[in-house]
Copies of this chain bind each other. A is one copy, B any other.
C-alpha cells in the first residue's frame, strides 16, 4: 500500500523561488526563518506525516470512531499517534509563544498543515479544531481562561471543539437557541443541543475544551444576541488538576460518508441541571469572535482540500505507472504499456497535478499576506494585506475544496474498476473530500461572502489590485521571447479580462439586483479561482523558464513549465463561459415558481 509523501520539492519552490519565505523572514519575530530551518521543519513534518499518520488513514477509515454509552473511542493506533504528535511539539507549531507555542509564520504552518491533511485528514481535524478554540481564548478570553486552558491546549494535552451548529441553525447561526444563564459567580449554566461537533468527544486526551455559542437571558434576537462560552468536559481545579465531570454528554456520533475516524458528535449540554461555562469576551458578541476564527478555519479547510488533492494525485500516479493495460496509441506494436502512456490518463493526472500546484501557490500567497497582516511594522501594509486575505479566503476555501472533490473523483477514475473497490483507497479520498465544500461555510456561503462583503461592499477596490498584479504577470509572459510563455500569457489575459468583466458586473448590479447577481456567485467564485490559479502557475512558469535559461538541468523546472501550459489550455479557457453565466445566468433561476421545479 503506497503511503503519502510530502511534496517537498514543490513546497520549496513556492517558499523560496516564488519569494514568499524571503518576504516573511523579513517580518518581526520571523528573522530566524531561514530556508534551511524551514526545510528542516518541513522535512521532519513530512516524515511524521508519511511514517505515523499515513499508515493509519485507511485503517482509521475502516474501523471508524465508535460511540459507546457516551464515550467515543478512536480507531486503533490513533491514541499513540496523537501522543507522538504532541511529544513532537507539532500541535504548538503556529501558536503564540506566550503559552508555549512556537509562533511559526502561517506560511510555514500552512504547508505543514497540508501534510497532516494529505496523510490523514481525519486526524488533521483534531489539531485544526483545537487551534480554533485556542485562537478564540487567546483573542478574547479573560486572563483566568487563558491561564487555565491555553498552556495545555497549546501543547495538545487537551483538545478543543467548536460548538456552533444546532438542528435548526446550520448556515444560519442567527437561529441558535442554546442558552446560558448567569450564576452570579462569573459562571453560566449552559443548556442546549449541538450537532456536527468535530472531535466533540474522543479518547485522545483527558479533557476537551468546548467553545459554545449560546444566548444569555434577554439577549437580542438574531446574530446580535449570541455569546461565546468555554465549557470544559471536566472542570479544572485551581491547581490545574481535573475536577468534576461537567454536564455535557455525547449523545451519539454520526454515520458519515467520509472522515470516518473523525468523530462527529451530538452534544447535550445541561441535561443534569446545566453545564458550567465561562463567558469569552463580552455578552452578545460571540458571533463576531467566531467569525474571526472562522476565517482562519476556512483557510484551513482550503488547505485540507489541497492536502487531499495531493494525496489523491499521488495514489493515482502510482497506479498509472504500475498498471499495464492496452497498447500504445498511434504506435504499431503489440506491447502493453503502463496506462500513464495513454493520453487521457495523462490528461487526468495533469488536471489533478496542475490544479493542486496552483492551489498550493495561491494558498501560500494568502498565507504570506496573513503573516504581513499580523506582523508587518507598517499599519497601512497590515491593512492592505488583511484586505487581500479577506478577499481571498473564500476563494482558497471554496475553490480548493470544490477542486478537491473533482480531483479525488478523477483519482477514482484513473483506477478504473479498482477505484470503486474500497480497499484500493482512492474512493476514501473522494468520500473524505466531499465534506470540505460543506463545513465551515458551504461553497454557496463562501461565494455570497465573496461577492457581497469582499467585492461589492468596497466597490471592488481590493480585487482591482489583484487584477493589476495578474496583468503584470500577463505582460511579462507576452513580452517574453518564448512562444509557450506567450501562449500562456494570451490565455491568462483572456481569463483576466473575463474576470474583470464579471467583477464590473457585480460591482455595478449588486445593490439593485442582489438576487440575480447571487445566482452567479458560485460561478464567479470558480472563475476567480481558475484565473487566480492561472496567475500563480504563470508566475511559476516565468521562474522556471528563468532557471532553465540560467542553465539548470533540474527536470522540476521543465515539468513546472509544462504544468502551467497544461493548466492554461485545460483550465483557464473555462473563464469566458463562467463570465457569461455570471452576467446572464440570473433571470431563469429566479423566475421559477417554487411549485414549478
Contact = CB atoms under 8 A, between A and B. Distances in A.
Interface of A: 165, 168, 170-172, 174-175, 195-196, 221-222, 254-258, 317, 321, 324-327, 329-330, 334, 336, 338, 340-350, 353, 405, 409, 412-413, 416-417, 419-423, 427, 430-431, 434-435, 437-439, 442-444, 447-448, 487, 491, 514-516, 518-519, 521-523, 555, 558-559, 562-563, 565-566, 569-570, 573-578, 580-581, 584-597
A444 B412 CA distance: 13
Given A172-B336, A412-B434, A596-B558, A588 B254 contact: no
A167 to B, nearest CB: 10
Counting every copy of the chain, the complex holds 2
Contacts of A514: 329-330
Contact of A597 (B340, B413, B593): B340
B569 A343 contact: no
Nearest to A488: B588
Nearest to A583: B569
A353 B346 CA distance: 32
B580 A577 contact: no
Contacts of A521: 343-344
Contact of A566 (B165, B422, B437, B588): B588
Given A343-B521, A346-B519, A591-B562, A257 B427 contact: yes
Q: Select the residue from A255, A443, A570 with max chain B CB neighbours within 10 A.
A: A570
B442 A256 contact: no
Scoring A257, A421, A442 by chain B CB atoms within 10 A of each residue's CB, the highest score goes to A257
Contact of A350 (B175, B317, B592, B594): B592
A521 B346 CA distance: 12
A180 B420 CA distance: 30
A585 B597 contact: no
A597 B349 contact: yes
A131 to B, nearest CB: 21
A326 B171 contact: yes
B555 A593 contact: yes
A412 B222 CA distance: 27
A434 B422 contact: no
A588 B562 contact: yes
B447 A344 contact: yes
Contact of A417 (B165, B343, B515, B578): B165
A587 B348 CA distance: 14
Given A325-B175, A330-B515, A555-B593, A587 B573 contact: no
Nearest to A578: B573
B575 A413 contact: no
Given A347-B523, A565-B587, 8 more contacts: A255-B421, A255-B423, A344-B519, A559-B597, A566-B585, A566-B588, A570-B585, A574-B577
Contacts of A168: 324-325
29 contacts: A168-B324, A168-B325, A171-B325, A172-B326, A175-B336, A257-B420, A257-B421, A257-B431, A329-B515, A330-B515, A338-B594, A340-B594, A341-B594, A342-B444, A343-B519, A344-B519, A346-B589, A347-B522, A347-B523, A417-B439, A420-B434, A491-B580, A559-B592, A566-B585, A566-B589, A569-B587, A573-B577, A574-B574, A577-B577
